[in-house]
A and B are shown apart, each in its own frame.
Chain A
Amino acid sequence: MSLNLRELSQRAQGLAPGHRACAGCGFPVVVRLLFAVARRPLVVVNATGCMEVVTTLYPYSAWPVPYLHNAFENAAATASGVEAAVRALQRRGRLSSPPKVVAIGGDGGTYDIGLQSLSGALERGHEFLYICYNNEAYMNTGIQRSSATPQGARTTTSPVGRVLRGKVQPRKDLTEIVAAHGIPYVAQASISHWADLGRKLQKALEVSGPSFVNVLTPCQPGWDYPPEQLVEVARRAVESRYWPLYEVEGGRYRVTYVPREPVPVRAFLEMQGRFRHLLGDEEAVEALQRWVDANWERLRAREAKDH
């Protein structure tokens, strides 16, 4: 599958202008790319969170496709209901061109409060794509930690104090948890690598059965970087191997992008206010680097086993 940017930009049926996402917000990139690569009509189910709030302020909507928001923790369960309806109506001849159901949730709605709902829907094998737009915290409610928040990051519920210096625990590896469900397609992607992301979304849309894409989508107020540096900060997450790009297709692992000359994780950290307190703490930065390296090695070893 080759993607041509010019062609995509013409095909892109974007989010309507006027939505209220911040300057330098990452997730609109994902939504636009999703529409650009989709070759079937879509129905979107969205969890409560920034994306829902900025795109659906009544009486306006930025969505060019049928869209349903139910609650915070139940996007996957809601999507299973939509998908069941699609199947049932199709079976009874009341639906000629069945749409693909896409659920979209933030990391809070996916890693944390919605994990059970996600796991249930994956296990049941519904035909749907779940996209986690991962900005590594609860941003809509004012930057609280989630289980996707990396160790050391400052949030309002993992503040920097005299005793504790940002989040104590490392982030949870949701992509691996999802892969353990044995679904046909799982991927990790970043908005900085648009062609890689676009291909993954396309595969995920076309596979039969559940699929899952975990996309790193930086948040300007939450991460605290200059708004025009959105793509750069995401790019450094990948180039430092802090956020590896890979896919698990039919159980086989493949790293889809190997940074030729990986940058130190410090280069990613130093762009963001949420890590400012760490930069003077050599030991903390080194610990993070070791964690990044260990994760990367584990992933490469896993990949090597499959090839």
Chain B
Amino acid sequence: MSRRRVGLTGNEAVALAWKQIRPHVVAAYPITPATQIVERFSEYVAQGEVDTEFVAAESEHSALSACVGAAAAGARVLTATASQGLALMHEVLYIASGLRLPIVMNVANRALSAPINIHGDHSDTMGSRDAGWVQIYARSVQDAYDRTLLAVWVAERARLPVMVCLDGFTLTHSLEPLEVYPDEAVQTFLGEAPTDGYTLLGGEPITVGPLALPDSYMEFRRALAAAMERVPQVLEEGVRAFRAHFGQDLPSLVDARGTEDAEVALVVLGSYADAVEQAALRARVRGQRAGFVRVVTFRPFPTTPLREALGGVREVVVLERADTLSGLGGPLGVEVRAALYDLEVRPRFTDVIFGLGGRELRDEELDNLLRAGPPGGVVYLGVEGSRVLELA
């Protein structure tokens, strides 16, 4: 298969993936830092390079509502948003998964108001972590491109909506080299959207979205949980098909390196994986046995592979860009701890919250943390305590 090598930003790469997917319907609304996805895709539509129905909705709530309508009608559907836009979609997120609609959404991760801030962190997607969507976090521009293609395959087979998250600005606006697969290869990988016949346009008078009372509601919700439980297997098949089609290896749930003999393991989501992996390697050079775990798929939570990777590690440090504001630290930390609770020997645990609203995490900060030894508990890295006191 002949690949093309180009330089694209994350948003451009996602828009290109969309064009190659050739969805029936895109319904979206612009918001920084996701805007260029929709802008670029609109150009493809305007130039006749793709024959998608593009619904330029009047809000994110309506954009996702239109996606629900289109997907229920049997269309292959894509959308994108970020931050306030994702928050505005919140109600409809649950409906999309409850109706088992394979919608794929790219989220350009961005902080939530207030104060308003357009830069990257994971507060937005963490706020919808229990909405019944598969959540996958990209590491690079290439990864965002690959996983957007993979997401369509997975969504249609798991019959669940999928979010592919890429960090605002660090990925959405960074120019990186990208290996582009041929359009036909993408088309054969995805094929026609598989359908179980339960669509509004299938010719049968089906009722979608009925009222379910206490005698049936819980079965629907349990079935949704069961669908989520099957996702690791679907993902596994998906990455195998992906490798076969494109010759590209993608870790499906977690990507763990050097954890076998590690005394300390660093756990991270998204584009900071590079910086954190480098910090672990520098620690090794200093003689500290450090390992690195990137959580690729956050929903469903990769409990088993995390336990395998972290089982023998004495010290676990989760580094994350969101907070639960519960006193328990960030959501990733809370869940990693829950996943490790049943281990015979539980590791010591530190939850590091960093990079909120786009604040940079510097290499020295990571090195200092490892040199000094993780302090345990919840730490806010890079925050000026005196200024916090003023604002409190």
Closest chain-B Cβ to A117's Cβ sits at a distance in Å of: 5
Point out the residues of chain B lying under 8 angstroms from A294, CB to CB.
Answer: none
Point out the residues of chain B lying under 8 angstroms from A89, CB to CB.
Answer: 24, 73-75, 201
Q: Is A81 within 8 A of B91, CB to CB?
A: no
Q: Is A86 within 8 A of B66, CB to CB?
A: no
Q: Is B73 within 8 A of A81, CB to CB?
A: yes
Enumerate chain B interface residues (CB-CB to A < 8 A): 24-25, 27, 51-53, 55-59, 61-63, 65-75, 77, 91-92, 95, 200-202, 204-213, 216
Q: Most chain-A Cβ atoms within 10 A of its Cβ — which of B59, B65, B68, B92?
A: B65
- The proximity string for A residues 169-192 relative to B, scoring 1 for CB distances below 8 Å and 0 otherwise, is 000000000000000000000000
Minimum CB distance partner of A76 in chain B: B62
Is A107 close to B, CB under 8 A?
Answer: no
Q: Is B206 within 8 A of A70, CB to CB?
A: no
Report, as a range, how many residues of chain A touch the other chain.
35 or more
Is A3 close to B, CB under 8 A?
Answer: no
**Neighbour of B65 across the interface among A57, A81, A92, CB < 8 A:** A81
Is A80 close to B, CB under 8 A?
Answer: yes
| Separation of A61 and B212 alpha carbons in the complex (Å) | 11
Q: Most chain-B Cβ atoms within 10 A of its Cβ — which of A69, A84, A120?
A: A84
Is A240 close to B, CB under 8 A?
Answer: no
Q: List 7 A-B contacts (CB under 8 A).
A: A69-B208, A80-B55, A81-B70, A84-B69, A88-B52, A89-B75, A123-B58
10 closest Cβ pairs, A-B complex: A81-B69, A120-B58, A81-B66, A77-B62, A85-B73, A69-B209, A88-B24, A74-B65, A61-B207, A85-B75
Q: Is B211 within 8 A of A116, CB to CB?
A: no
Point out the residues of chain B lying under 8 angstroms from A78, CB to CB.
Answer: 65-66, 68-69
Is A43 close to B, CB under 8 A?
Answer: yes
Point out the residues of chain A lying under 8 angstroms from B52, CB to CB.
Answer: 88
Is A250 close to B, CB under 8 A?
Answer: no
Q: Is A124 within 8 A of B55, CB to CB?
A: yes
Q: Is B73 within 8 A of A70, CB to CB?
A: no
Q: Is B51 within 8 A of A81, CB to CB?
A: no
**Neighbour of B91 across the interface among A71, A80, A99, A121, CB < 8 A:** A71
Q: Is A70 within 8 A of B92, CB to CB?
A: yes
**Neighbour of A117 across the interface among B25, B65, B67, B204, CB < 8 A:** B65
Point out the residues of chain B lying under 8 angstroms from A91, CB to CB.
Answer: 51
| Separation of A71 and B62 alpha carbons in the complex (Å) | 11
Within 8 A of B (CB), among A74-129: 74, 76-89, 91-92, 95, 99, 116-117, 119-121, 123-124
Closest chain-B Cβ to A116's Cβ sits at a distance in Å of: 6
| Separation of A70 and B72 alpha carbons in the complex (Å) | 10
Known pairs A67-B207, A84-B24, A95-B201. 18 more at Cβ < 8 A? Answer: A43-B200, A56-B210, A58-B212, A63-B205, A66-B208, A71-B65, A77-B57, A77-B65, A78-B65, A81-B65, A81-B73, A81-B75, A85-B71, A85-B75, A88-B51, A91-B51, A116-B59, A123-B58
Point out the residues of chain B lying under 8 angstroms from A70, CB to CB.
Answer: 65, 68-69, 92, 95, 209
Minimum CB distance partner of B94 in chain A: A71
Point out the residues of chain A lying under 8 angstroms from B55, CB to CB.
Answer: 80-81, 84, 124
| Separation of A70 and B307 alpha carbons in the complex (Å) | 39
Closest chain-B Cβ to A15's Cβ sits at a distance in Å of: 12
| Separation of A54 and B70 alpha carbons in the complex (Å) | 25
Is A53 close to B, CB under 8 A?
Answer: yes
Point out the residues of chain B lying under 8 angstroms from A63, CB to CB.
Answer: 205, 207
| Separation of A91 and B45 alpha carbons in the complex (Å) | 14
Closest chain-B Cβ to A136's Cβ sits at a distance in Å of: 23
| Separation of A116 and B71 alpha carbons in the complex (Å) | 22
Point out the residues of chain A lying under 8 angstroms from B213, CB to CB.
Answer: 57-58
Closest chain-B Cβ to A99's Cβ sits at a distance in Å of: 7
Minimum CB distance partner of A66 in chain B: B200
Q: Is B201 within 8 A of A86, CB to CB?
A: yes
Q: Is B75 within 8 A of A84, CB to CB?
A: yes
Q: Is B206 within 8 A of A67, CB to CB?
A: yes
Q: Most chain-B Cβ atoms within 10 A of its Cβ — which of A74, A85, A121?
A: A85
| Separation of A157 and B62 alpha carbons in the complex (Å) | 28
Q: Is B211 within 8 A of A81, CB to CB?
A: no
| Separation of A99 and B213 alpha carbons in the complex (Å) | 31
| Separation of A61 and B208 alpha carbons in the complex (Å) | 10
Is A52 close to B, CB under 8 A?
Answer: yes
| Separation of A123 and B62 alpha carbons in the complex (Å) | 13
| Separation of A79 and B63 alpha carbons in the complex (Å) | 11
Point out the residues of chain A lying under 8 angstroms from B67, CB to CB.
Answer: 81
Q: Is B53 within 8 A of A85, CB to CB?
A: yes
| Separation of A116 and B24 alpha carbons in the complex (Å) | 25
| Separation of A47 and B95 alpha carbons in the complex (Å) | 13
Is A64 close to B, CB under 8 A?
Answer: yes
Minimum CB distance partner of A43 in chain B: B200
Q: Most chain-B Cβ atoms within 10 A of its Cβ — which of A52, A57, A70?
A: A70
